[in-house]
Structure 1
């Protein structure tokens, strides 16, 4: 016989609490979730930047429209341009937009495919900048931005190389008409795109400033007058909306330099009673005179003009220019395999410094914009992109010759020089959007 509890028929309060607690929690749980959804708590900010040294890169589109003025933060982010200077060449299965037979404007000596070059691997690389992306060239976008305008390439044969690359890429969507040609080797030419009323021209001027080129019948040195631009191109400046300047290799030749009526000095002029001054300072003076003249003639009178300076393009001779293996590489250099140094680095440095100095003075020339198209390093890393012996048709058709002329300066078309125009388009897109925001 057990002992009866005096509470046998009564529920203890603690027992009741234990029974009801689970049901209360089940009821409160969805209410808590609903509150968290409607009123999320603020999380503390970490004092450590998870992505150090990474700047926001905004790629403007030429078709962008702005319904309201951007905030200061948005504008600051937008103004940070992509740095295309450093990067690497990576494989690209897409290849070029055009080939050697689909474009009729390629200079014969740069048409490597039609001249029999069989190792076509050099066509399947693209430049990948370290901290951003370089979009594939968009011919329609380029033509749309340039509608009703005149683009002029001014300089030496590298300017022509870049011009012909651009014409070939644009011709994939709109065929240009050659409307003007003049001078030996057609050094002055102009094309017209009826679809967009665009003129694209080339003006031979290997010094940009006034010069007398050496000749077989005269002195074996050039004469440069550093105080004056070459009016053969500058005389047409009023009809130009954008100018691409590209010079360099002609400054390596023997020359006598003049400032005013006095001889400043010379470069490699044995037998002449002039002081050897090299060519780096003179190279900078030529750009200084040119950019100053463009700014004064166009930038100060409300007639805007955009200027691009394509930086120095290195050559890749390995030994004698008339040896079969003068530039034998068939792949790009890898990072660290070839350094930007010596003359190549100095020529680029001079150009970049002159562009930056010109930018510093743009406040007094509101219609003048200038940018350096920095292609020196990416070009240095492409020893495989030159015509080499294929500057002549089928140079080894009758067997390998002991001596054959090589071109290790200019670029095959299609080829690495197409990348220069990809970057040119990105600069134009950025400028175009800046102009839209100012309207």
Structure 2
């Protein structure tokens, strides 16, 4: 789902390719149609890569590759929701509320070559989430995905049958769909493993410290979820990071600066080892969203820099060299 990438140590800028953008924007669709296309309590294998099952879930033909296609402009059936009408829209992603006037980006949708993806149906998804717990885990990218997901479904639920709840010092935010006995949740864990950036609000620290071998504090929060969508990437984009062996505040803790590709690999190994031991493959579906386009680097000349901000106005089709090879290699070693 993501394009190949390379790391440029001198700049550490992040420039996701066109396919990386596809991976980010269709993540919710993939989760909805693939992980929820099941009967009763039967689930496909953990982290499936079954094109036949995916095509079946979407009604696509055997020749349809959902990940090969293009963006098409559709101002008739898109956007799927209006920002100002979403009851639970977060100020952190409320572009229109805080002054964005170019809203044409909302009308683009993904069309695979030779087939089409059915329009999102909130009731269909909620029925498949009935009696289930879906949890996004990661950083602001997954938080944005979570906000989009609840904005997609909440208009189909009466006001008195939906609400937001907070737990674990606000690290966990849950959208509750009462009629369906379902929750769609987000848990803040930007490194997946434990770090000094785990506070949901106060996490912009001058020095980032990560415990690459410790995940239990986070894992116990989402261990019983039916659907897990993880991401961790942008917070690792620096040449090296301080790794702690031991506990925060412990006098005998060992600190060491480690090259980020190696530290990222160790963290993902801790994460994947925990999943292998504790996740019930017949119950829980697990997905991992990796790299995404940068927040602050230009993709192509379609973007105009105004007052230090990048104003993207159209979908880019230019394929740029991407600077995350070391991170990519760390992830590849886990496959």
Q: Under a length normalisation based on structure 1, what TM-score does the superposition of the two structures give? A: 0.53
Residues paired across the two proteins, number: 266
Q: Is 1:313 the equivalent of 2:292?
A: yes
Corresponding position of 2:195: 211
Q: Deviations over 1:348-377 (max 9, x none)?
A: 5644663xx2xxxxxxxxxxxxxxxxxxxx
For 1:395, the equivalent position in structure 2 comes to none
> Are the equivalent residues in 1 in contact too, given 2:171–2:188 (CA < 8 A)?
yes
2:12 is matched with: none
Assess, with a 3 A threshold, how the Cα gap between structure 1 residues 350 and 174 changes in structure 2: closer, same or farther. Answer: farther
Shift of 1:286: 1.7
Quote the Cα distance in structure 1 between the aligned partners of 2:163 and 2:107: 29
User: What RMSD over aligned residues (CA atoms) do the two structures have, in Å?
Assistant: 3.4
CA contact (8 A) 2:196 2:203 kept: no
Q: Secondary structure at the match of 2:125?
A: helix
User: Partner of 1:87 in structure 2?
Assistant: 69
Which has the larger Rg? 1
Partner-residue secondary structure (3-state), 2:212: strand
CA contact (8 A) 1:205 1:230 kept: no
Deviation at 1:79, TM superposition (A): 4.4
Q: TM-score, normalised by structure 2?
A: 0.68
Alignment of 1:158-173 (within 5 A): 158-173=141-156
Deviation at 1:308, TM superposition (A): 1.0
Asked whether the equivalents of residues 147 and 198 of structure 1 are also in contact (C-alpha less than 8 Å), the reply is: yes
1:304 Cα deviation after fit: 2.4
Q: Which runs of 5+ in 2 are unaligned?
A: 1-32, 40-49, 56-63, 247-252, 299-304
Q: Is the 8 A contact 2:36 2:129 kept in 1?
A: no
8 Å CA contact 1:179, 1:192 repeated in 2: yes
Shift of 1:264: 5.4
Which of the two has greater helix per residue?
1
Structure 1 unaligned blocks of 5 or more:
1-58, 66-75, 267-276, 358-439
Deviations 1:154-206 (A, max 9, x none): 111111100000000011212531133554xx442112101210012211111
Cα pair distance change 1:145/1:348, threshold 3 Å: farther
1:114-133, aligned counterparts within 5 Å?
Answer: 114-130=97-113, 132-133=115-116
Could you say which structure has the greater relative contact order, defined with CA pairs below 8 angstroms and 6 or more residues apart? 2
1:214–1:290 Cα change, 3 Å: closer
Which residue does the alignment assign to 2:231?
Answer: 246
Say if 2:229 and 2:289, in contact at 8 Å, map to a contact too.
Answer: yes
